[in-house]
């Protein structure tokens, strides 16, 4: 009797899974997020037109203006740059890796270079992701078996910073997300909204973006001048100062444990891109918290020199830590995006021209 019961449960589970997969095929993978929908549809329609791509979190989404990259690169090299910003707010290391695979599979993709944010495993598994946003479609649509194993492996490579209990809890959440993703748990109301076309947010997204980019305006804190000044003095400036001071420590002098599992994942992404004739360049952005810098600096140092750009140093780029150039303690505003884009573009110009000279020699 017990055997028959489990057999029926197993068969029911397989049936439900088959139905779930069939229904999932009726919606595109971006059904849940207007910004992702806009970026993917634009990229698919103009896959051959763009030759530089940007993948990452809101730091690059709000921080790299394609028009500035194109202008600087085209003025100082013979490369006809045409850049598209595919970075997403709230992105995680695992999601960005998943999206890279999907982008590389686009037929006729014209990308020759990718600026890929060097993301933090700690930030990708923090409370806002692993607990507060548990069960949301955005945080589980990308977690299939390969993504699940890679995310868990990278998590367990964090060493002593995460206690064993924390690792088990986050791994459990990844597993829950994976199962819910396979069975479309909690997704059907969103499927219906997508099928009925009841979400009018898409057109607003299109209007606000150009080549995938939309800058933050001014400061995050709005309101009376007195309240804004108080927020800057008591909250923003102290946080910026901590990040600024730690960023001035040279990367090569920052001691810390390298997450070897994550490092291997990063190298695998470089290899995948190489096979497609694309050069992947990891970008270490500014405004990282000291804890995040401790994680990423040793990792960045170990990456191949021609596959990395650092825009982190407050000693080299002090304005990127100035309140006139930031939106909050983690993001630049429109003014900061112009500067950050110029910094990255100039680094690319040097890399591209050096490679060309070495080829000619």
Per the structure block, which two tokens stand in for 69? 């990259």
3-state secondary structure 237-276: HHHHHHHHHHHCCCHHHCCCCCCHHHHHHHHHHHHHHHHC
Q: Bigger pLDDT: 239 or 204?
A: 239
Cβ contacts of 349 within 8 Å, gap of 6 or more: 72, 73, 76, 77
Q: Bigger pLDDT: 193 or 238?
A: 238
Distance CA 22, CA 206 (A): 30
| Model pTM score | 0.93
Q: What is the pLDDT of residues 55-108, one digit of tens each?
A: 999 999 999 999 999 999 999 999 999 999 999 998 999 999 999 999 999 999
Q: Bigger pLDDT: 331 or 198?
A: 331
pLDDT of 22: 74
In angstroms, the Cα distances linking 358 to 275, 282, 349, 353 are 21, 22, 14, 9
pLDDT of 25: 78
Is the predicted pLDDT of residue 10 greater than 70, yes or no? no
Is the predicted pLDDT of residue 133 greater than 70, yes or no? no
Beta bridge partner(s), residue 308:
282
Q: At what angle do helices 201-208 and 34-45 cross, to 10 degrees?
A: 60
Arithmetic mean of pLDDT over the chain: 90
Q: What is the pLDDT of residues 283-321, one digit of tens each?
A: 999 999 999 999 999 999 999 999 999 999 999 999 999
Distance CA 334, CA 215 (A): 5
Query: How does residue 334 score in pLDDT terms, banded at 50, 70 and 90?
Result: very high
pLDDT > 90: percent of the chain: 64
Helix (H) or strand (E) holding 295: helix 290-302
pLDDT of 32: 87
Which spans in 25-158 are helix H? Answer: 34-45, 58-61, 66-76, 93-104, 121-124, 127-130, 145-156
Q: What is the pLDDT of residues 162-206, one digit of tens each?
A: 888 889 988 998 999 999 999 988 888 888 888 887 666 778 888
Is the predicted pLDDT of residue 224 greater than 90, yes or no? no
pLDDT > 70: percent of the chain: 92
Cβ contacts of 274 within 8 Å, gap of 6 or more: 280
Distance CA 140, CA 64 (A): 26
């Amino acid at each position: 009797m017990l055997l028959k019961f489990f057999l029926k449960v197993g068969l029911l589970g397989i049936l439900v899974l088959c139905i779930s997969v069939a229904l999932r095929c009726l919606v595109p993978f971006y059904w849940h997020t207007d910004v992702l929908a806009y970026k993917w549809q634009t990229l698919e329609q103009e896959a051959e037109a763009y030759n530089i791509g940007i993948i990452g979190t809101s730091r690059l989404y709000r921080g790299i203006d394609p028009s500035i990259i194109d202008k600087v690169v085209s003025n100082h090299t013979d490369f006809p740059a045409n850049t598209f910003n595919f970075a997403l707010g709230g992105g995680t290391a695992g999601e960005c890796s998943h999206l890279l695979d999907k982008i590389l599979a686009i037929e006729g993709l014209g990308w020759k270079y990718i600026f890929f944010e060097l993301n933090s495993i700690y930030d990708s598994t923090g409370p806002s992701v692993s607990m507060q946003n548990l069960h949301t479609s955005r945080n589980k649509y990308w977690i299939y078996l390969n993504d699940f194993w890679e995310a868990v492996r990278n998590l367990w490579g964090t060493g002593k910073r995460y206690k064993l209990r924390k690792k088990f809890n986050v791994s459990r959440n990844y597993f829950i997300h994976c199962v819910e993703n396979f069975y479309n748990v909690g997704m059907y109301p969103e499927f219906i909204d997508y099928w009925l076309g009841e979400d009018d947010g898409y057109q607003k997204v299109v209007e606000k973006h150009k080549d995938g980019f939309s800058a933050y305006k001014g400061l995050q804190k709005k309101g009376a001048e007195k309240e804004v000044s108080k927020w800057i003095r008591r909250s923003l400036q102290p946080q910026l100062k901590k990040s600024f001071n730690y960023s001035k420590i040279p990367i090569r002098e920052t001691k810390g444990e390298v997450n070897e599992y994550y490092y291997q994942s990063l190298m695998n992404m470089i290899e995948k891109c190489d096979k497609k004739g694309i050069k992947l360049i990891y970008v270490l952005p500014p405004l990282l918290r000291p804890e995040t810098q401790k994680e990423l600096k040793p990792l960045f140092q170990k990456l191949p020199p021609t596959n990395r750009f650092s825009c982190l140093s407050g000693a080299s780029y002090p304005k990127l830590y100035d309140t006139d150039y930031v939106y909050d303690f983690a993001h630049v505003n429109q003014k900061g995006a112009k500067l950050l884009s110029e910094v990255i573009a100039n680094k690319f110009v040097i890399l591209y021209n050096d490679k060309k000279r070495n080829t000619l020699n």
